[in-house]
Structure 1
Amino acid sequence: MSDSAETFTNIDAALTDVVEPGADASQASQIHLTAQHPLPYWLVNVPRNQWPATCPDFLKGLPDKNIEILATLDADYRRLNWDGVKDLVRTNDIGKFQRVPSDLRRYLEYMFYIKQKYGSVMDFVLTERLHWDADDLKPRGPAFEHDDDFKVLYNDWPYGLDREIVHLVIWTKFDLDEDPATGLLTPSMWKKIDDYIEKTFRSRISPDHIIWFKNWKSLKSIHALEHFHVMLYKPDRDFIADITHGDVPLVEKIAQGA
């Protein structure tokens, strides 16, 4: 069997498994699937009885990277292991982090909804996740000296990583100073963050099970709110519940119908 035919067969078989008996196939019959014309990216990983007639607005005009991910079956996606995570961070190749295809679809749909309801993702995060007043974002003091100036939460839409990896985001009211020439953290800011990591995480978790990074400006989904990322391998879940004050990521809340 050719590669293209095998790909089509795998997609069709996966979708056939989720078709409910007696489901209306009128929409599906309008989409002609062949090995030469595989399933459009906006239908992959969607149960056949839920296929939209046209590409949803939240999936239009996407960059090639996202389209390639969305066109991949969840069953064919390979989660990144801990060594792979460390390699990407240490080589500053963080642009290669990506979400599980169906998670990416849900993420894009939710971001589309958020922008319509709140005006911007930043306004949503401030109001619903951080519970910070947009008119009171001035830090009380230097970096990490006041608990009110930063907050630790789950990454609401984590990357497609080993399920033993916990992805946290530390949001800050204070600036995370960068070198304007390189876009990288200044040495003094890097040390302040690493000292915080040492005090907060390395005292509780093996240093080899912790890694942190700050997104390049081009990769930030929320530009007006400073934040950096911490990934932990096999951490104590009670510790995570304590440091996040019992936070639950949005992706789990949505899955639970909250």
Structure 2
Amino acid sequence: MENTPVIVSPEDAPFPLTEVDKWVLSLTDEEFKYHDWEDLKKIIAENNLSVLKRKPSDLRRYMGWTAETKAKYGSMTNYLLIHRLPKTWGSPPFTPSSKTPFDDPSDYCVLINDWPYGLTTDITHIVVWSRTIIETDPETGDMTPGSRRTVEDFVKKFFADRLGPDGGSRVLWFKNWVALQSVRSLEHIHVMVKDVEQDVLNEWTKELECHRLRN
């Protein structure tokens, strides 16, 4: 049947599985412990991103969907360019309006993550895609101090300030090290927000005029 999920064994995973992923696949959903806000704060503060995990059934579905998508589109990048990212971006290598990440709204796109980590229900997982390169350290694969400051400033202005005086305590963000990225050819950061109303999420993720192709 067309809607039957593709089952992929760990040995045939369409992206590198971490040791945490392999352990999660041995669990049932009932045995899985969701990441809550305090857990996320600790993981991100320690930059211990490899322990972030999806619910077992979601991870299996994500593996199957990724395998199916790569077979149909050739790559995850092609799928995202066709279905999720602004048509005005064209294809990589992109030509951003600004060399500074998140400086120009035409250079970034805010979307709810289609495949979030296993989070408690009060947390929303957002991905901000960028056609401007976010500089990383070639030796560690992690962000440079300068690029980290740039992203911190953007996240504060775009997300935290919108939520009012307590916004800073309701927003977390990280950028996966290169080795942990499942979509390596497209720049993106992850933003976690707590107790945010749907109308605010809609405002953040609405399509911008600068992202529309003109006839």
- TM-score between the two structures when normalised by the length of structure 2: 0.83
State the identity %. 32
Q: Which amino acid aligns with 1:98?
A: K
Looking at structure 1, the residues matched to 93 and 184 of structure 2 have their Cα atoms a distance apart, in angstroms, of 18
Whole-Å Cα distance in 2 between the matches of residues 103 and 158 of structure 1? 9
1:225-244 matched pairs, under 5 angstroms: 225-244=186-205
Partner in structure 2 of residue 107 of structure 1: 62
Could you report, residue by residue, the CA deviation over 1:152-187 in whole angstroms, capped at 9, with x for unpaired residues? 011110011111101111100101011223332222
Q: Does residue 1:98 correspond to 2:56, yes or no?
A: no
Distance in 1 between residues matched to 2:205 and 2:195, nearest whole Å = 16
* 1:72-97, Cα deviation, whole Å (9 max, x unpaired): 11112111110000100000111101
Query: What is the letter of the counterpart of residue 177 of structure 1?
Result: E
Check 1:124–1:236 CA distance in 2 against 1; reply closer, same or farther (3 A cut).
same
Compute the displacement of 1:225 (Å).
0.4
Match of 2:185 in 1: 224
CA distance in 2, matches of 1:192, 1:66: 31
Match for residue 118 of structure 1 among 60, 66, 73: 73
The correspondence of residues 1-258 of structure 1 with structure 2, limited to 5 A, is 58-61=8-11, 62=13, 63=17, 65-132=20-87, 133-134=90-91, 137-143=94-100, 144-205=102-163, 206-245=167-206
Q: Equivalent residue of 1:130, what SS?
A: coil
Q: Matches of 1:102 and 1:135 in 2, distance apart?
A: 33
CA distance in 2, matches of 1:117, 1:102: 22
- d(CA) in 1 for partners of 2:73 and 2:189? 23
Q: 1:141 offset after TM fit, Å?
A: 1.5
Determine helix, strand or coil for the equivalent of 2:84: helix
TM-score relative to the length of structure 1? 0.70
Residues in 2 aligned to 1:198 and 1:66: alpha-carbon distance in whole angstroms: 31
> 1-side partners of 2:66 and 2:114: how far apart?
11
SS of alignment partner, residue 124 of structure 2: strand
Q: CA-to-partner distance for each residue in 1:103-160, whole Å, 9 max, x for gaps?
A: 1111111001100100001110111111432167210123223211110011110011
Any gaps of 5 or more consecutive residues in structure 2? 208-215
SS in 2 for 1:191: helix
Which structure exhibits the higher relative contact order, with contacts defined as CA atoms closer than 8 Å and separated by 6 or more residues?
Answer: 2
The number of residue pairs the alignment matches comes to 193
Per-residue CA shift, 1:180-201, capped at 9, x if unaligned? 2333222221111111111111
TM-superposed CA distance for 1:245, in Å, is 1.2
Name the stretch that deviates more: 118-127 or 175-184.
175-184
Deviates most, 73-82 or 181-190? 181-190
Are the aligned partners of 2:129 and 2:186 in contact in 1 as well (CA < 8 Å)? yes
Q: Is the 8 A contact 2:126 2:190 kept in 1?
A: yes
